[in-house]
Amino acid sequence: MIDRAMTIIDITPSVSARTPMFPGDTIFSATRSWEISGECPVNVSEVVMSTHTGAHADAPLHYDAKGKPIDQVDVSAYIGPCAVVHVIDGAPTVTREVLSAALDNISAVAPERVLVRTYDRLPDLWDENFTAIGADAIDWLAEQGCRLIGVDTPSLDPATSKSMDAHNAVNRADMRILEGLRLDDVAPGVYELIAPPLKLEGLDAAPVRALLRTLP
């Protein structure tokens, strides 16, 4: 486990062509546009990627045709105290009861941000059977004043979902979402989250460099 004496914990997986993606979504690629040589003093690269690659923030526009794009959301939701909870039981869905019990074990008060670790180790390949978050769990978090939920999976909802129940519950509560985090070795507890998304104008999501800072 990571030593709590550390100040910063990077919970962002590296992004490359090996990054698992939803089937049919854009695979990351990078090419060198300019290269240091006798005629050029710098390296510059071009990248092609989905807005949902690796650690990313979903904008309301992702699940609501009239929702705000990522450049218009309040970034304060992505910065501040958060709880990391473990639900590594292989169940298909994290329910309200399970999430409530996990939070009770680490904090007397539900914080405004909750990150849910469902993997013992983040897989290197696409996993269509990842653990989803139940809409009832989202509704309960909203009742507690939670502003953001983050997961180490590609989505809050099951890979085959067409109804997007968890995302719609987030939308009703005007919460924010982080997906694709790497929470390997992060102990349950209360931390400070620092994970603002890139300000991509008019888009449905944006990559983040997600960090946790241990609290004194």
**Dist. CA 29–CA 95, nearest whole Å:** 37
Contacts of 155 (CB under 8 A, 6+ apart): 22, 130, 132, 161, 179
Asked if residue 38 is part of any domain, the answer here is: no
Residue 215 has pLDDT above 60, yes or no: yes
Asked if residue 148 is part of any domain, the answer here is: yes
> For residue range 35-61, what is the model confidence (pLDDT) as tens digits?
999 999 999 999 999 999 999 999 999
**Predicted pLDDT at 1:** 53
The CA-CA-CA angle for residues 117, 122, 125, to 5°, reads: 140
Asked if residue 130 is part of any domain, the answer here is: yes
Domain total in the chain: 1
What residues form DSSP beta bridges with 205? Answer: 58
Domain of residue 56: give its range.
8-13+52-214
Residue 32 has pLDDT above 80, yes or no: yes
Residue 4 has pLDDT above 60, yes or no: no
Asked if residue 92 is part of any domain, the answer here is: yes
167 is catalytic: no
The domain spanning residue 117 has which CATH number?
3.50.30.50
Range of weakest confidence among 6-15, 69-78, 100-109: 100-109
Asked if residue 190 is part of any domain, the answer here is: yes
Asked if residue 44 is part of any domain, the answer here is: no
What band does 108 get if pLDDT is binned at 50, 70 and 90?
low
Instruction: Give the predicted TM-score (pTM) of the model.
Output: 0.94
**Dist. CA 173–CA 140, nearest whole Å:** 10
Asked if residue 116 is part of any domain, the answer here is: yes
Residue 138 has pLDDT above 80, yes or no: yes
Asked if residue 19 is part of any domain, the answer here is: no
Instruction: Choose the catalytic residue: 56, 62, 86, 167.
Output: 62
> For residue range 153-169, what is the model confidence (pLDDT) as tens digits?
999 999 999 999 999 99
Q: What's the maximum distance between 2 C-alpha atoms anywhere in the chain?
A: 64
